[in-house]
Structure 1
């Protein structure tokens, strides 16, 4: 039974596959037939759901059967499921047969009609082609027959046009002659409007006489008449503009516009307004002679702003579309030609102030001017109907700020004067050294505050353009301030003594701490200054800002712009600070003070080590007793007083240093690191104590060595005594966590060698030390 079912399924599948392929192709026929085919396919799919699988090119009968029999229905009753499936396939085949038969009949019945329609289309296309050829031939014939006629018509039309032009020219020539004869009578009447009407008519006639021989003469004649009318109208025109008579002004604008002389009329308006506002400036000064130039500027700028709003409204009614640009030109010209000029007024006012107060006056005036510039810019933007471009506003902005260009150029001079006065107000130098040191420490915050105020003044007065000048002033200011510290260091040096003076040592460290604090503050101020300089330059570089903020063009000359560009380039490219010279000067000051501090600490040691060569152990009287103490053991020798004094002093150093170096003292740390590179290796304040002790120990060893090498002669006992002194110093240094210098260690060994052992025992020692000890001991060289 399974074989029979498979055979039936296979036959049904093959047939169904080809039937589906047939229905998927488009068959000839009308839309109803295709719709009917689709309907049949849909019917088949409804009868048997999995129709699409039969049309697949890779259809596999076994796979399809296996997949079908995996359903739950097939598992329940396989025989019933097979019977049902075979019956559906048979029904499916019958439906396909019927649909195929119907479609075949439809196609066969439609073929004759398709052939008939095709023949009709071919006939119509042939007829259309024949008609198009006939039309083309007809057009060519018409063009050939009528070409000469059309050329004749065109020539006749040109003749007609020329005749009309000649007629009009004769009419206008006659009209010109009449008008030229009557114009003198009209001029004698003095009626400007009637004269204008005559001239307009003559101008119209002249435009039609462009080809006549005496056109240029007529043109010159008309221009002369226009000049006469302009001269006659100018007093009335000036009066109308001065009185702001709207109706009369409109009349004259109309006349000049028709005469093509509107630019000349705008010049009259320009001069009238300029003169009026110029008189307002002189009136302001005359009525307030006892007031300051700041009051004059403030008052005059308010009048200019008020006049701007009034004139914009008036101009929009008289000659629209040109009001803003006209007023911009007037204001720019006015501010450049004020009498007396703003520059003269400022210069006169500056002479009445001290050098230190001149910058304050300039700053006040500059702020008044800047406020006016901002308000005027806002007024221009609000009143202008069209966008006003920066290149149109630049002359006005330059005229506003022009008086301040010379003072911005000399900004460093004015800033130096004010900073110098502020610095002189600080009373830092006193006869008493401790008061000087305290005053210097207290002055640091005020000195930095003055520098920050100078930075703010630079922003306000130069709008960031004057930073090169500010740096010059600050360098001079800080240099002058450091001179006060140099005076303090000199006072310390004068107080130095050969005896122990811990009070002076504490003053040295206190002053060192103050210098360190100054260095920290200046480095922090310098960072702020760099940031402000770069930010100010970025604002100056902004291309979207108003022309009234293009301060590089408004406040700097070419040299100033070059200096600012060089400064910005150095900040961006070079690895250096803008107060580099000041920082280096502070480092030098720290180094000098550190040297003075060292000398104060070392003074007692220095005084004791000067006694080395005069010690009794190797005096001339003792050396004569050559056999004295020769056989004494080493422990019978005690260190001499000079070296014990040095040792005791060294042991007291830590307790004097720790109050300064063991506490958290970043200012002193900064100063010590600036003074000596050795302190840069210390990671904490306790490390700085060891470093300073190490420096003192190194100096002690070096001087002790130099002094001992100056001894002329040593006997055996003296050698042991000197070796004992050296060993004592080594023990003291060891207690402090330090060590004796290598050459002193070698000298101690060489002093204890017998003359017989000296040659071999000195191997590996410094040649200088070996030779010096040999000479002191009178040991002959075997080499």
Structure 2
């Protein structure tokens, strides 16, 4: 029995768990066992459980007692609470009356003469304030009357700083004329004077900018700031400094966009050179911008954005022309262009860091002009996407705030969004681009097959070789998804790969179907001449059997490769899910190789969809990619189930291909049997009118006869059915027969399961273990179960052909013919039972054909016209019961 202290500790630990099962497992003290074998003493385990139950009972009683005590305290305190509230209300009323009395006494204590004097002083102070305000207005009016003359004179004397200061002072007084008739004329005068000053400064400013005279530019910047023309100064500076880069972009001669000039260079070769020149310019401007502008980080960001937006033709236009030039093969080229942009952006971030470290942390860095901050805020809001999930926030930490300074609340730089915005439409369309590229790769792979006719004997080998090429191309798609979308295109990647593999398998399925109607093919017969020489198969039949088996073997090989590829795809998606999970927990964690702006653009795009997160949650919950936690305690959980396939359509298409091969094999194997029945519906025996159950002698003596013998056609069919096990004994070592057993026609899953369980219950030492099919739950299947499954499918397929095509083709049945048919069907029924086949339609034909005329007429007339059995209806027509 646990002590009270230990009991309290055990009960307290229950609050640390969300699952009672986990708490029980961790609370039970079991011996360590590295081999995970559960050799626990049940008596000791029962004692621990009893102790645990006792601790829970004690804890429950303590909780109940404590709750009752709280209820009693509350019940006693409620009446006292009402009394306290009433007492507080009376006290507040008393205090209010006392304050009113004190106020009245204070007023009565001041003499009347003193009160009048104070009122006069207040009135005089009000008059003084209004007179001073009137004086200021008169001074401003006098100042405005000479403003134009003074500013014009200062401009003529090239005293630009004094003129700017005079205009700045005058602009401050504009508020005086607000809502008056004088406001518009004075505002127009102010703008005109500012324009005159700017025009006078523009030539000198451009000369200073071109000469890279930082001191002069800084003075001019102060002047432009005084006249509220800071944005114009920036436009002058940006336009002048970016002209070499813009000119390089505009004059570039490109062969794969901008009219596709034949003598031009490739865009992917030109773009790194362009970015290299741009990076050199930024490094040169780093010191100049820091010495001229009070907010160099924001200024550099605006300089980059203005440069990118002034490119003609625009980056987006060139990317569109670039992608149209390459067509279906555009994706790898776009990745090269995006990688060059990302490398440049990474270099720009380093330049930003250098500017940040070299610049003092002044309040002006966060201020800027109101127009700039308003424009930046409006631009960022226009790019917000409704694809953000509920509860999701943007990780908008900026370059300044990254260093942990007091300016961590400054707005983020958006130069990188300006650079990556043109790529966003292509990134959103990644699924379509990837599918087009894979389809082009598939076309190139199969181009050699279409140029010349491939022999049928080479089709299985060619299928495996082309599958290797296809999977190789598909494996590269995961890397393309990572480079181009940084994982956000995972949902489109999965759909693309699924459809890509499905198209490939469907193409081969159609090819196999058309091959069965094509010219005959010849395989080298691997069976000795005397081994199955008595079977009714021609050399072409043996060749077709070999072809189907080889195709099934190839399908099994491709299925294994598909499973390996799906494992790689699952691991890739798991890495993407882990990365996104870390990014949510740590907003500063950026995508690998992506800047903050690119990350935000992708996060706010339609790629960041509910479908993507549903896929990632599905992969995260997949037990096949997680190692089970090691523990020596008892875990109350079931063993992990097999993972659900990711490429469902591809697996279904491969299963359909296997089914097509199986149908072709079944058709070939049953061809001799069907040939034996080609003339079966037209046998003369169906029209005999002699009673087959008796014989008349010359003396008219009735001699009883034995049961009828089956017809020769049925005997030959029976011999063929009995020879089928021998055929499968020859191919017992061929693993292709064990592939895709669940797709065999007329083979129920319960039947296959029973065959497998039967083999497992009675193991055979000489049985061959088969590799399980990838479409089924992995189980051990030996040769006996495989042969049984195929024999059942063959038997049902043949009987289906017999009951649906041959028997209904019989024109009519006499009594003698019905007896002969019943004898044939009885004989066939016994034969197929030896193959473990029971066919409901065959039993119905045998039963209805064997009925006497009186019973048949009665059975037909008792049936409902809407629900009558189709077999009975057909037999009634043959026997004339209708």
TM-score (ref. length: structure 2):
0.58
- Residue 475 of structure 1: aligned partner: 499
Are 1:736 and 2:805 counterparts? Answer: no
Q: Is the Cα–Cα contact under 8 Å of residues 203 and 222 in structure 1 kept in the other structure? A: yes
* Distance across 2 between alignment mates of 1:735 and 1:746: 19
Matching residue within 457, 461, 481 for 1:458: 481
Q: Is the Cα–Cα contact under 8 Å of residues 689 and 814 in structure 2 kept in the other structure? A: no
The Cα offsets for residues 571-607 of structure 1, whole Å up to 9 and x where unpaired, read as 989x998755555544444444433322212111111
Matching residue within 292, 302, 310 for 1:337: 310
* Distance across 2 between alignment mates of 1:196 and 1:761: 116
Which of 1 and 2 has higher RCO (CA within 8 Å, sep 6+)? Answer: 2
Matching residue within 686, 690, 696 for 1:627: 696
- Residue 74 of structure 2: aligned partner: none
Matching residue within 708, 714, 720 for 1:643: 714
Matches within 5 A, 1:60-99: none
Shift of the 631–531 alpha-carbon distance from structure 1 to 2, 3 Å rule, reads: farther
* Distance across 1 between alignment mates of 2:179 and 2:797: 111
Q: CA deviation at 1:248?
A: 0.6
- Residue 601 of structure 1: aligned partner: 669
Q: Is the Cα–Cα contact under 8 Å of residues 594 and 672 in structure 1 kept in the other structure? A: no
Shift of the 496–672 alpha-carbon distance from structure 1 to 2, 3 Å rule, reads: farther
* Distance across 1 between alignment mates of 2:565 and 2:681: 54
Q: Is the Cα–Cα contact under 8 Å of residues 221 and 233 in structure 2 kept in the other structure? A: yes
* Distance across 1 between alignment mates of 2:604 and 2:330: 21
Unmatched 5+ stretches in structure 1: 1-132
Matching residue within 484, 493, 516 for 2:508: 484
- Residue 360 of structure 1: aligned partner: 332
Shift of the 771–160 alpha-carbon distance from structure 1 to 2, 3 Å rule, reads: closer
* Distance across 2 between alignment mates of 1:412 and 1:176: 66
Shift of the 391–493 alpha-carbon distance from structure 1 to 2, 3 Å rule, reads: farther
Higher-Rg member (1/2): 1
- Residue 669 of structure 1: aligned partner: 739
* Distance across 1 between alignment mates of 2:430 and 2:668: 45
Shift of the 343–756 alpha-carbon distance from structure 1 to 2, 3 Å rule, reads: closer
Q: Is the Cα–Cα contact under 8 Å of residues 471 and 565 in structure 2 kept in the other structure? A: yes
Where 2:662 maps in the other structure, the secondary structure is helix
The Cα offsets for residues 311-367 of structure 1, whole Å up to 9 and x where unpaired, read as 3443332221x32223323322321221233344445555665x4533322221122
Q: CA deviation at 1:727?
A: 5.4
Shift of the 235–137 alpha-carbon distance from structure 1 to 2, 3 Å rule, reads: same
- Residue 512 of structure 1: aligned partner: 552
Are 1:691 and 2:789 counterparts? Answer: yes
- Residue 114 of structure 1: aligned partner: none
Matches within 5 A, 1:321-470: 322-346=295-319, 349=322, 353=326, 355-377=327-349, 379-380=351-352, 383-384=355-356, 388=398, 396-408=415-427, 411=430, 414-424=433-443, 425-426=445-446, 427=448, 430-466=453-489, 470=493
Q: Which moved further from structure 2: 597-606 or 136-145?
A: 136-145
Shift of the 455–655 alpha-carbon distance from structure 1 to 2, 3 Å rule, reads: farther
The structure in which a higher percent of residues are helix is 1
Shift of the 186–743 alpha-carbon distance from structure 1 to 2, 3 Å rule, reads: closer
- Residue 303 of structure 1: aligned partner: 277
Where 2:288 maps in the other structure, the secondary structure is helix
* Distance across 2 between alignment mates of 1:769 and 1:204: 105
* Distance across 2 between alignment mates of 1:249 and 1:370: 32
* Distance across 2 between alignment mates of 1:768 and 1:296: 77
Q: CA deviation at 1:405?
A: 4.2
* Distance across 1 between alignment mates of 2:178 and 2:792: 108
* Distance across 2 between alignment mates of 1:591 and 1:615: 35
* Distance across 2 between alignment mates of 1:712 and 1:198: 121
* Distance across 2 between alignment mates of 1:758 and 1:139: 126
The Cα offsets for residues 18-44 of structure 1, whole Å up to 9 and x where unpaired, read as xxxxxxxxxxxxxxxxxxxxxxxxxxx
Shift of the 139–432 alpha-carbon distance from structure 1 to 2, 3 Å rule, reads: closer
Shift of the 668–734 alpha-carbon distance from structure 1 to 2, 3 Å rule, reads: closer
Q: CA deviation at 1:434?
A: 1.9
Matching residue within 484, 502, 521 for 2:542: 502
Q: Is the Cα–Cα contact under 8 Å of residues 792 and 835 in structure 2 kept in the other structure? A: no
Where 1:682 maps in the other structure, the secondary structure is helix
Where 2:810 maps in the other structure, the secondary structure is coil
Say how many residue pairs are matched: 635
* Distance across 2 between alignment mates of 1:750 and 1:283: 92
Shift of the 221–664 alpha-carbon distance from structure 1 to 2, 3 Å rule, reads: same
Matches within 5 A, 1:532-551: 544=587, 548=595
* Distance across 1 between alignment mates of 2:147 and 2:218: 26
* Distance across 1 between alignment mates of 2:467 and 2:112: 109
Shift of the 719–408 alpha-carbon distance from structure 1 to 2, 3 Å rule, reads: closer
TM-score (ref. length: structure 1):
0.64
How large is the Cα RMSD of the aligned pairs?
5.5
- Residue 19 of structure 1: aligned partner: none
* Distance across 2 between alignment mates of 1:256 and 1:296: 38
Q: CA deviation at 1:302?
A: 2.8
Matching residue within 112, 115, 130 for 1:147: 115
Shift of the 643–169 alpha-carbon distance from structure 1 to 2, 3 Å rule, reads: closer
Shift of the 494–313 alpha-carbon distance from structure 1 to 2, 3 Å rule, reads: same
* Distance across 1 between alignment mates of 2:548 and 2:183: 101
Where 2:442 maps in the other structure, the secondary structure is helix
